Chain A
């Protein structure tokens, strides 16, 4: 085990896979000479050369599509799209091509492609650079979408994504890059499609992914100390496929849930989680499932407005207290009758 940042864990995984397999190469804007806009690929150009660390033109549709085509011939490209906002320029290639090629040709062509891209807000980047639109990709069968929240998962899931024969959208997060954690020294790939119960508890279930799984873990710790609450935390880790079973099994035990997401609430990923709990856990619930999500506005630039729009730890704590309050009142009513 070594303690390292989320950024370092990603870089280590990329480097390790490039050493392991000569078919693995990197493509993206400013990933070589500039070391990557967020320095994930720092030093890799020097180590592997221009053939395997390719700076591209600003042409998301062109270079993402080229990566898909190269993957069809058996290479294993890892594309960096500078932020998930710019992935919209490659939407046709990702949704209409990468996600379809295996199916629409009857299983004859595989697309072993990884698209790395950070989402996030809170950096005062304004309306077009602060979005969390992973839902667009998680909606599409044929895509795999992973969203690690810890350095250990960042490494393990990157190893898994590169070795996978399907297109994987690998969601990173701007505010997680500098977070630290213990990471195994060995290369052990994660299993895509599985959530993790990152903290066991009996009182209520918190469900999140990416930055909001990180927030959930912090809030659970805080409330354990301050209120003695016993909170269970689920890190979804994979948005497609979605591990519904782990979510429902937890709610069956805790009888209450709050879903945390950085995207917009209406039609968001939390809506799918709430619907899942309704389907599999309806008879076990003691309170409605609450969702904590971003305010439904284009992200403003000004700091107080941006802070107000983003879900915070305090917003989560408020939702937990209100949910537990609803559970308490219900229990009280049932005891009276």
Chain B
């Protein structure tokens, strides 16, 4: 592993940043681990196992998409596996997660059964959102995954409000809210960070920076391309970590979570790679050969596997077993999804309102508002 540690932590209220620009070549000193849990070998292997499963699940989903078993948009976590796994490991079961539309890996790692995630992609009734959400809108109250959201930045005010509710009730929980790099330019991001800082809310904002908002690079969209620095406007602690190393992400997320548990918001920037296009249908032709080569070099599955083998934590044989197991589980999830029934059309009006209300329309397209007048009815029946 080339990079193992964070770049900087901004001291509270100092306004100062000691970070330096991240590049793939930058080597950061390995942390002492004094301020966080260290990651033992067994846990590192478990991280790897989860990462491999996300990869194989996403590849299986991409195949199902090309087979027209999945509709709509389909954004994959390919290249972000280390980020997803490291972040989720820092959360407790009682913490809440809000994320965006690139979310399958989060749902899986948060502990939702892969069968229900795949069934949601297939639009089936056993899906985690009963087929109402699809790829972008997975939700599971028990796992405290409070949604994937499709509008860029839409989840940020919501997550901030969830943190407000935690603060209001005085319970020992936090919220994690993930977003892409492009999202940091939207007003909702800035309004929310301001509110969270003013009200000292227990929330970790996470920017997954793969340097691409669809095809637009961070340099072209953000006047401050070192995105974690944006937190300084809100006197919020922030840090940037290397997102191809799950241990670095985990440790950074733990530091961030500790700040949130102490009642302060935190902004964590995770430098990741997007191995493929923006979504399944995007061939990504706008990227130069050099950028693609660099991204491939930073494939977290490859680099972390090498790290584990080098350190004697895994053998090539064990890697094969982990891989085969992941393929089998993804295949089983797809089989389950395909066998799951579609939701019945009779349920179309079940989820407009939680509190039943007078005069709610249950009319299908083309149906009249009113039955014809009696004298017209009699003519028809004659």
Write the A93-114 contact mask toward B (1 if CB under 8 angstroms, else 0).
1001100011111111111100
Q: Which of A201-209, A237-245, A298-306 contacts B (4 or more CB under 8 A)?
A: A237-245
Choose from A103, A164, A241 the contact partner of B351 (Cβ within 8 Å): A103
Q: Contact: B369 with A192, CB < 8 Å?
A: no
Q: Which of B44-52, B144-152, B303-311 contacts A (4 or more CB under 8 A)?
A: B144-152
CB neighbours (8 Å) of A102 from chain B are 351-354
Question: In angstroms, how far is the closest chain B Cβ from the Cβ of A176?
Answer: 24
User: Is residue A74 within 8 Å, beta carbon to beta carbon, of the partner chain?
Assistant: yes
Q: Which of A129-182 contact B (CB under 8 A)?
A: 141-142, 144, 164-166
The CA of A102 and the CA of B129, in the complex, are separated in Å by 10
Choose from A70, A106, A279 the contact partner of B370 (Cβ within 8 Å): A279
**Given A65-B158, A92-B151, residue A108 in contact with residue B370 (CB < 8 A):** no
CB neighbours (8 Å) of A141 from chain B are 352, 361
The CA of A209 and the CA of B205, in the complex, are separated in Å by 43
The CA of A142 and the CA of B353, in the complex, are separated in Å by 6
Q: Contact: B191 with A61, CB < 8 Å?
A: yes
CB neighbours (8 Å) of A191 from chain B are 358
Choose from B139, B163, B353, B355 the contact partner of A106 (Cβ within 8 Å): B139
Q: Which of A30-38, A51-59, A253-261, A310-318 contacts B (4 or more CB under 8 A)?
A: A51-59
CB neighbours (8 Å) of A284 from chain B are 373
Choose from B147, B187, B354 the contact partner of A107 (Cβ within 8 Å): B354
Question: In angstroms, how far is the closest chain A Cβ from the Cβ of B66?
Answer: 25
CB neighbours (8 Å) of B286 from chain A are none
Choose from B98, B147, B154, B195 the contact partner of A56 (Cβ within 8 Å): B195
- Per the CB 8 Å criterion, the residue count for chain A at the interface is 60
Among B137, B359, B373, residue most surrounded by chain A Cβ atoms (within 10 Å): B359
Q: Contact: A70 with B359, CB < 8 Å?
A: no
**Given A142-B352, A191-B358, residue A65 in contact with residue B129 (CB < 8 A):** no
The CA of A112 and the CA of B355, in the complex, are separated in Å by 9
**Closest A residue by C-beta to B157:** A65
**Closest B residue by C-beta to A62:** B191
Question: In angstroms, how far is the closest chain A Cβ from the Cβ of B121?
Answer: 14
Question: In angstroms, how far is the closest chain B Cβ from the Cβ of A189?
Answer: 11
**Closest B residue by C-beta to A243:** B359
The CA of A93 and the CA of B195, in the complex, are separated in Å by 16
The CA of A320 and the CA of B187, in the complex, are separated in Å by 48
Q: Contact: B157 with A66, CB < 8 Å?
A: yes
The CA of A68 and the CA of B163, in the complex, are separated in Å by 11
**Closest B residue by C-beta to A164:** B355
Question: In angstroms, how far is the closest chain A Cβ from the Cβ of B131?
Answer: 7
Q: Which of B164-172, B207-215, B216-224, B242-250 contacts A (4 or more CB under 8 A)?
A: B164-172
CB neighbours (8 Å) of B96 from chain A are 73
**Closest B residue by C-beta to A97:** B154
Question: In angstroms, how far is the closest chain A Cβ from the Cβ of B362?
Answer: 11
CB neighbours (8 Å) of B290 from chain A are none
CB neighbours (8 Å) of B156 from chain A are 65
**Closest B residue by C-beta to A63:** B195
Q: Contact: A59 with B139, CB < 8 Å?
A: no
The CA of A59 and the CA of B196, in the complex, are separated in Å by 12
Q: Contact: A105 with B132, CB < 8 Å?
A: yes
Among A77, A102, A106, A245, residue most surrounded by chain B Cβ atoms (within 10 Å): A106
The CA of A64 and the CA of B130, in the complex, are separated in Å by 27
The CA of A96 and the CA of B156, in the complex, are separated in Å by 13
- In the complex, number of A-B residue pairs with CB atoms less than 8 Å apart: 180
Write the A188-203 contact mask toward B (1 if CB under 8 angstroms, else 0).
0001111000000000
Q: Contact: A108 with B161, CB < 8 Å?
A: no
Question: In angstroms, how far is the closest chain A Cβ from the Cβ of B165?
Answer: 4
Q: Contact: B354 with A66, CB < 8 Å?
A: no
CB neighbours (8 Å) of A279 from chain B are 368-370
The CA of A185 and the CA of B137, in the complex, are separated in Å by 45
Write the B369-382 contact mask toward A (1 if CB under 8 angstroms, else 0).
11001011000000
User: Is residue A71 within 8 Å, beta carbon to beta carbon, of the partner chain?
Assistant: yes
Q: Contact: A106 with B157, CB < 8 Å?
A: no
The CA of A282 and the CA of B373, in the complex, are separated in Å by 9
CB neighbours (8 Å) of B132 from chain A are 103-107
User: Is residue A25 within 8 Å, beta carbon to beta carbon, of the partner chain?
Assistant: yes
Q: Contact: A242 with B376, CB < 8 Å?
A: no
Q: Which of B165-201 contact A (CB under 8 A)?
A: 165-166, 168, 187-188, 191-192, 194-195, 198
Write the A250-291 contact mask toward B (1 if CB under 8 angstroms, else 0).
000000000000000000000000001001101110000000
**Closest A residue by C-beta to B360:** A241
Q: Contact: A110 with B354, CB < 8 Å?
A: yes
CB neighbours (8 Å) of B166 from chain A are 73
Question: In angstroms, how far is the closest chain A Cβ from the Cβ of B231?
Answer: 16
User: Is residue B25 within 8 Å, beta carbon to beta carbon, of the partner chain?
Assistant: no
**Closest A residue by C-beta to B159:** A69
User: Is residue B68 within 8 Å, beta carbon to beta carbon, of the partner chain?
Assistant: no
CB neighbours (8 Å) of A110 from chain B are 354
Question: In angstroms, how far is the closest chain B Cβ from the Cβ of A147?
Answer: 15
**Closest B residue by C-beta to A96:** B151
The CA of A68 and the CA of B358, in the complex, are separated in Å by 24
The CA of A327 and the CA of B191, in the complex, are separated in Å by 56
**Given A56-B195, A107-B130, A166-B353, residue A73 in contact with residue B162 (CB < 8 A):** yes
Q: Contact: B369 with A105, CB < 8 Å?
A: no
The CA of A101 and the CA of B129, in the complex, are separated in Å by 11
The CA of A282 and the CA of B188, in the complex, are separated in Å by 47
Choose from B129, B158, B168, B360 the contact partner of A72 (Cβ within 8 Å): B158
CB neighbours (8 Å) of A105 from chain B are 129, 132-133, 137, 139, 147
Q: Contact: B359 with A106, CB < 8 Å?
A: no
**Given A106-B351, A107-B351, residue A70 in contact with residue B360 (CB < 8 A):** no
> Apart from A59-B194, A108-B129, what 13 extra A-B contacts exist at CB < 8 Å?
A61-B157, A63-B195, A65-B156, A66-B192, A69-B157, A70-B168, A75-B168, A93-B158, A96-B151, A101-B147, A104-B133, A109-B141, A191-B358
The 12 listed contacts between A and B (C-beta, < 8 Å) are: A59-B194, A62-B157, A62-B195, A65-B156, A65-B157, A66-B192, A68-B161, A72-B162, A106-B129, A106-B130, A108-B139, A284-B373
Smallest CB-CB A-B distances: 5 pairs? A65-B157, A69-B161, A62-B191, A106-B130, A193-B358
